[in-house]
Amino acid sequence: MVRRLLKRRVEVLFSSPTICSLTKHRVRNKRLILAYHGIIPDGALADGERSLFIAQRDFANQLDMLAEVADVAPLDRLDEEGDGRPRVAITVDDAYRGAVCNGVRELVKRRLPATIFVAPACLDGHVFWWDALASSSGHVDRAIREYALRELDGCDERVRSWARSQSLGKTRPISAHACAATRAELRAAVAFPGITVGSHSWSHSNLATLRSDDLDWEVAQSRAWLKSEFGEKAIDWFAYPYGLDSVAARQAVAVASYKGALRIDGGWHTASRVSPFGRPRYNVAAGLSVAGLKARVLGALPS
């Protein structure tokens, strides 16, 4: 508790106008891509892997701050010239129902653009394996996660089969907001101005460990499905599942005609100095305060 209070005080200090006016030069002519995951609707309880979910009220407050201090641009136009303020793009991974329904509502209310990265095989109420295997405290054991990603390729069916053999996993249903949205809900969200979709592979497997033929299929099939379903609202951007990439994965994405691909770590960057198929993002995790995000957007704290 003491550590958390100290952290908040530091974030408030570093988000002050005085400090930020001295540090904003650090981010001049750079770009920042924010990565969100799940949104907990007002009145609902947290569920699944808690680090991935933020409260709707906190999300709304962060958006208000971003609209005030930053030039929030569509992902596929991020590298264009801005209005002089820090230039950022908002992305949302996994198409959780809470994000697609409640999160998009907050974005539309503020006329802010965002891209939702979708794994088509994981829609219509799908429960992701990491949410099903999260403990009562809302965390997946590190050893379990590493085994699932490295030995089982992060493949949902293989992870679930192994988990059943080990008697792992929740026995109660996962809250609706922590399940994947339906196709109809996603279609309704994408109908709003500024909301687009991108590919998160076909089935959210770990592309860094897949064989080349499986890798190529995951990358190409997801793009084809999204183009078929959403037309021009499906942009040619890719987000690596789990944020894990490899030389082979980057090559597969390039061959499949994507324009860019995103990791899940990193922060401010200059587009010309990074690979278009390895663009960094700043992961907005649960517990990050508005002041903490503001300090990072304005260059006062590292992102």
Residue 27: which residues within 8 A CB-CB, separation 6 or more?
A: 86, 268, 297, 298, 299
Is 74:31 a contact under the CB 8 Å cutoff?
Answer: no
Residue 303 lies in a domain: no
Domain count, the chain: 1
**In-domain check, residue 63:** yes
Expressed as residue numbers, the domain containing 276 is 2-297
Is residue 223 in a domain?
yes
The pLDDT value given to residue 2: 47
- pLDDT value of position 171: 66
Domain assignment present for residue 302? The answer is: no
Residue 203 contacts residue 115 (beta carbons within 8 Å): no
Half-sphere exposure of 62 (CA within 13 A, CB side): 26
H or E stretch at 116 = strand 114-118
What is residue 82's predicted lDDT score, i.e. its pLDDT? 83
236 inside domain: yes
Within-domain flag for 131? yes
Mean pLDDT by 10 residues, the chain (303 residues): 60 69 76 98 94 97 96 96 90 98 98 98 96 92 96 95 89 90 98 98 97 95 97 98 96 97 93 94 94 90 75
The rounded Cα 255 to chain-centroid distance in angstroms is 23
User: Measured in whole angstroms, how far is the alpha carbon of residue 254 from the centre of its chain?
Assistant: 21
pLDDT at 11: 74
Q: What is the CATH number of the domain that holds 272?
A: 3.20.20.370
Which DSSP state fits 82?
A: -
